[in-house]
Structure 1
Amino acid sequence: MKNLEEENKEIKISESTKKQIFTLISTPGVSIEEIAEKVGLDYDTIMEILSEEYLKNNLDYGRRLCCRFS
């Protein structure tokens, strides 16, 4: 039951933290695990933020978060 409550609870992430995540993900050689350590969030939260940004901006059509995906 606790897991369901945690899944439904949305974590508030500041815009400055999101900007830091996007800057780090666009830096060659920086892994998701390293980003999680640097910003103090867990791996799943980082992936959720990146997934939301990917879907929000429809990055399949030429726009990429970073050079690693091109």
Structure 2
Amino acid sequence: MKFNLKYKDIDESRELSSENYTIKDLLNDLELSSQSLVCKQNGELVIEETEIKNDDEIQLIQIIYGG
């Protein structure tokens, strides 16, 4: 089973490494923090506990801080 990941310059198909694979698992695998990202699943905002399903599109959007 696969899903599509979009993050910065990355746009790739990835294998689901396990059942019940969540956004949090993905962030851990990529060594990214949810504190600096917004996560979308098929265009909808989601939380870390959301499961990634076959053929989902996961988009990670970097939050930019500034003043």
Q: TM-score range by the shorter chain?
A: 0.3 to 0.5
- The structure with the largest strand share of the pair is 2
Q: TM-score, normalised by structure 2?
A: 0.34
Bigger relative CO (Cα 8 Å, ≥ 6 apart):
2
Larger CA Rg, structure 1 vs 2: 1
